[in-house]
C-alpha cells in the first residue's frame, strides 16, 4: 500500500535532501515543547527523532515574557537533535480561518480579492495580517469560487520566528495547528468534508476541513491538563497520577472488569470538561451545517464525520461520547495517512504518541 495520493514522480524522484530547507518542526504552546525531525524516503515521511519537554507557559500576545528561557530550552533540544532549521506551529487561537465566495472573474487577481475580504472576516487591520489561501472548489452554477483563507497577525508570526531565531534555529516556515493537522490526518485527494477535534495540553482545536482545506477553525482553552485536574479533584490525587489513571490500560484479564468500572468513574469525572469541548464542537458543526445549507448545491460540503486527534482524545468512551452528541461518526485519526505506509515503514513512534505529533508531522508534509 502506498502513502495516500503520492504520485509516481514524487516517489521516484524525491526532492534532494540538500534542497529541503527543513526536516524538523516544533510546537511551543501550552507550556510544552514538542519537536520532531523526519527523513524523506521514496515519498514517505519517516520520524527520525522526537522530543517533548516542559517550557514556561506564556500568555498569548505577551510572548516576549519568558521567551529567553524558552529559547534556551529550545536551543538545548535543537542542538541535541542536530536541528538547524524548523517549521513552527502557530497556536490556533492566533489563526483566523474562514471561507469566502468570490466571482469566478476574480481568479485573475485572487490575491487582491482575498486581501479585500480580510477586513470583513479578520479582527485585525489588514496591514497587520499575513494570509494564505486556496481554491476549495468552483461553484459553476453560481459562477463563483469557494476560497479557504487562513490569516494570522504579523505580531504572532514575528514572535514565533524571533523565538526560533533566538534559539539559533532558522525559521523555515510557520503553520497553523488546524492546517497542519488536516494535512496529516486527511488523505490526499479526499473530497469530503470532515470535522477535526484535537485535544491538546491546555487547549482544543475544532476545525472544518473541506477537500483538504480548513474552512473554519476554533480554539478553546480547555485541554488535557483540565481533564487531569477534573480527575485529580474527583479522586483526590495529583494531576500526574490523574493522567496516569486516565491513560493506563489493564494488563491482566482479571483487571479488565475492575478497569471497566474505573473507566466509567474516570469518564464521569471528566464530563464537565468534555461538555465544554462538546459544546464548542456543536457550535462549529452548526455553523458548518448553516454554511452547507446556504450553499445548497454541494452535498460534499456537509460534514461527514469527526476525526479525533491528540493522544488525550483516544481514551475509552470519548469517541462514543462525541459520536452520540454530534450525531456524526467519530473516528480516531492517524498521523501516518499521508506520511508513510505502516506496512513498509513501521514507525518507532507508537500510535498514541504519534497523535500528539500529528500536527508537527503534517507541517512537514508538502
Partner 1 sequence: MKTFLTEQYAKAVAREYRGRLVFVASALSCIAFLAAIAFALPTYFLLRAKADAISTPASYPDSLSNVESSAALLKEKISAAETVADEERMAAIVEKILVRAVDGISVTNISLRRDTGASAISLAGVADTREDLVAFQKSLESEPLFSKVVLPVSALAKGKDVHFSFSIDSDF
Residues of this chain that interact with partner 1 (CB under 8 A) are 16, 18-19, 21-22, 85, 87, 90, 130, 132, 152, 154, 157-158, 161, 170-176, 366
| CB of residue 228 to partner 1, shortest distance in Å | 31
Rg over CA atoms, the chain = 21
Locus of grid cell 481554491: 135
- For partner 1, the closer of residues 91 and 345 by Cβ is 91
| CB of residue 40 to partner 1, shortest distance in Å | 13
| CB of residue 92 to partner 1, shortest distance in Å | 13
- For partner 1, the closer of residues 100 and 159 by Cβ is 159
Q: Are 267 and 317 in contact (CB under 8 A)?
A: yes
| CB of residue 301 to partner 1, shortest distance in Å | 25
- For partner 1, the closer of residues 28 and 232 by Cβ is 28
CA distance linking residue 335 with residue 104, whole number of Å: 35
Q: Are 209 and 192 in contact (CB under 8 A)?
A: no
| CB of residue 71 to partner 1, shortest distance in Å | 16
- For partner 1, the closer of residues 20 and 314 by Cβ is 20
| CB of residue 240 to partner 1, shortest distance in Å | 35
Distance of CA 55 to the CA centre of its chain: 20
- For partner 1, the closer of residues 18 and 120 by Cβ is 18
| CB of residue 13 to partner 1, shortest distance in Å | 13
- For partner 1, the closer of residues 154 and 344 by Cβ is 154
- For partner 1, the closer of residues 84 and 202 by Cβ is 84
CA distance linking residue 69 with residue 60, whole number of Å: 16
- For partner 1, the closer of residues 58 and 176 by Cβ is 176
Q: Are 339 and 184 in contact (CB under 8 A)?
A: yes
| CB of residue 81 to partner 1, shortest distance in Å | 19
- DSSP track, 205-268: EEEEEETTEEEEEEEES--HHHHHHHHHHHHT--HHHHHHHHH----SHHHHHHHHHHHHHHHH
CA distance linking residue 134 with residue 67, whole number of Å: 33
C-alpha distance from residue 356 to each of 333, 352, 363 (Å): 11, 7, 13
Q: Are strands 95-103 and 213-220 parallel, antiparallel or unpaired?
A: unpaired
H helix or E strand, kind and range, residue 10? helix 8-12
| Helix axes of 224-235 and 239-247: crossing angle, nearest 10 degrees | 100
| CB of residue 332 to partner 1, shortest distance in Å | 28
- Comparing C-alpha atoms, which of 141, 280, 100 is closest to residue 204? 280
- For partner 1, the closer of residues 172 and 182 by Cβ is 172
C-alpha distance from residue 109 to each of 66, 102, 103, 106, 133 (Å): 42, 11, 11, 6, 13
Amino acid at each position: 500500500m502506498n502513502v495516500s495520493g503520492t504520485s509516481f514522480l514524487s516517489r521516484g524522484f524525491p526532492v534532494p535532501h540538500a534542497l529541503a530547507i527543513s526536516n524538523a518542526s516544533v510546537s511551543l504552546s501550552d507550556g510544552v515543547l514538542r519537536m520532531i525531525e523526519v527523513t524523506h524516503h521514496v515519498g514517505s515521511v519517516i520520524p527520525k527523532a522526537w522530543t517533548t519537554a516542559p517550557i514556561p507557559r506564556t500568555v498569548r500576545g505577551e510572548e516576549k515574557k519568558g521567551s529567553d528561557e524558552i529559547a534556551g530550552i529550545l536551543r538545548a533540544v535543537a542542538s541535541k537533535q542536530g536541528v538547524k532549521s524548523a517549521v513552527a506551529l502557530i497556536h490556533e487561537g492566533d489563526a483566523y480561518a474562514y471561507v469566502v465566495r468570490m466571482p469566478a472573474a476574480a481568479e485573475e487577481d485572487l490575491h487582491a480579492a482575498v486581501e479585500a475580504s480580510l477586513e470583513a472576516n479578520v479582527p485585525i487591520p489588514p496591514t497587520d495580517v499575513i494570509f494564505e489561501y486556496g481554491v476549495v472548489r468552483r461553484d459553476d452554477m453560481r459562477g463563483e469560487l469557494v476560497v479557504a483563507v487562513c490569516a494570522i497577525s504579523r505580531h504572532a508570526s514575528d514572535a514565533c520566528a524571533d523565538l526560533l531565531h533566538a534559539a539559533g534555529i532558522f525559521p523555515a516556515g510557520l503553520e497553523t495547528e488546524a492546517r497542519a493537522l488536516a494535512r496529516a490526518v486527511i488523505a490526499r485527494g479526499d473530497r469530503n468534508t470532515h470535522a477535526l477535534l484535537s485535544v491538546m495540553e491546555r487547549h482544543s482545536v475544532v476545525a472544518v476541513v473541506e477537500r483538504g482545506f480548513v474552512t473554519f477553525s476554533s480554539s478553546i482553552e480547555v485541554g488535557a491538563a483540565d481533564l487531569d485536574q477534573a480527575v485529580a479533584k474527583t479522586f483526590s490525587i495529583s494531576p500526574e497520577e490523574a493522567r496516569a489513571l486516565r491513560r493506563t490500560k489493564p494488563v491482566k484479564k482479571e483487571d479488565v472488569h475492575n478497569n471497566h468500572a474505573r473507566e466509567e468513574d474516570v469518564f464521569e469525572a471528566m464530563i464537565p470538561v468534555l461538555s465544554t469541548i462538546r459544546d464548542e464542537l456543536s457550535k462549529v458543526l452548526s455553523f458548518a451545517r448553516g454554511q452547507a445549507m446556504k450553499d445548497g448545491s454541494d452535498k460534499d460540503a456537509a460534514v461527514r464525520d469527526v476525526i479525533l486527534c491528540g493522544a488525550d482524545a483516544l481514551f475509552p468512551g470519548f469517541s462514543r461520547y462525541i459520536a452520540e452528541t454530534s450525531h456524526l461518526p467519530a473516528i480516531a485519526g492517524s498521523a501516518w495517512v499521508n506520511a508513510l505506509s505502516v506496512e513498509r515503514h513501521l514507525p518507532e513512534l507508537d500510535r498514541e504518541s504519534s497523535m500528539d505529533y500529528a500536527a508537527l508531522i503534517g507541517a512537514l508534509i508538502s
